[in-house]
């Protein structure tokens, strides 16, 4: 006959099983919860044209975050609500040139560079002879919006195309899908 388990051992064994079960559940659920958080915070997209050349090219893959507010110089993904692409609600990739309160103007005499708040914008990625483009404008970016342009100004349909519209070319922050954080060639 085996001796009965002592009352002190029975609760310790039950506690050990309970702890093991909780560890197992945490080991299974933690990676799933982490993956869900990452999927909610980040997205992946493919560039479909060369309006961001030389920075990005058609076929490149970008990883973007969905939570940060972009600053001047960031590359963003946005929903084309202005019809710049010719297809409603297309996802576009552009660079933020101006944020709320900025005065963006084209262009500095002589150099053709964009002016932001009266000063020329240094854009080493814009390689054209007139890096600000050929469309003259002067806009103040409203609250809750950004002004965007492609790096390849000659091939980019961007804020400049809507400068005479009600929003003066500004893109509402709600139309942004995220800020690009990483990319690689396709």
Residue 180, number of CB atoms within 10 A of its CB: 24
Q: Give the up-direction half-sphere exposure of residue 149: CA atoms within 13 A in the CB hemisphere.
A: 26
Annotation marks residue 94 as catalytic: yes
| Catalytic choice (6, 58, 94, 159) | 94
Query: Distance (Å, rounded) from C-alpha 149 to C-alpha 151?
Result: 6
Query: Distance (Å, rounded) from C-alpha 82 to C-alpha 102?
Result: 21
| Catalytic choice (51, 53, 156, 162) | 51
> Residue 48 has which token pair?
């479909």
Annotation marks residue 85 as catalytic: no
Residue 26 vs residues 13, 14, 158: alpha-carbon distances, Å: 20, 18, 47
DSSP 175: G
- Active-site residues: which are they? 51, 94
């Amino acid at each position: 006959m085996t001796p009965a388990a002592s009352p002190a051992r029975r609760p310790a064994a039950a506690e050990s099983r309970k702890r093991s079960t909780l560890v197992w559940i945490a080991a299974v659920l933690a990676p799933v919860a982490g993956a869900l958080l990452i999927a909610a915070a980040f997205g992946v997209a493919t560039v479909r044209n060369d309006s961001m050349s030389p920075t990005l090219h058609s076929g490149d893959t970008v990883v973007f975050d969905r939570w940060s507010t972009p600053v001047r110089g960031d590359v963003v993904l946005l929903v084309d609500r202005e019809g710049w692409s010719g297809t409603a609600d297309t996802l576009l990739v552009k660079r933020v040139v101006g944020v709320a309160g900025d005065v963006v103007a084209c262009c500095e005499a002589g150099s053709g560079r964009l002016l932001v708040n009266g000063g020329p914008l240094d854009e080493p990625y814009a390689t054209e002879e007139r890096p600000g483009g050929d469309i003259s404008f002067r806009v103040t970016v409203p609250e809750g919006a950004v002004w965007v342009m492609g790096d390849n100004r000659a091939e980019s349909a961007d804020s400049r195309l809507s400068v005479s519209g009600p929003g003066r070319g500004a893109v509402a922050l709600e139309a942004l899908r995220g800020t690009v954080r990483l990319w690689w060639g396709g």
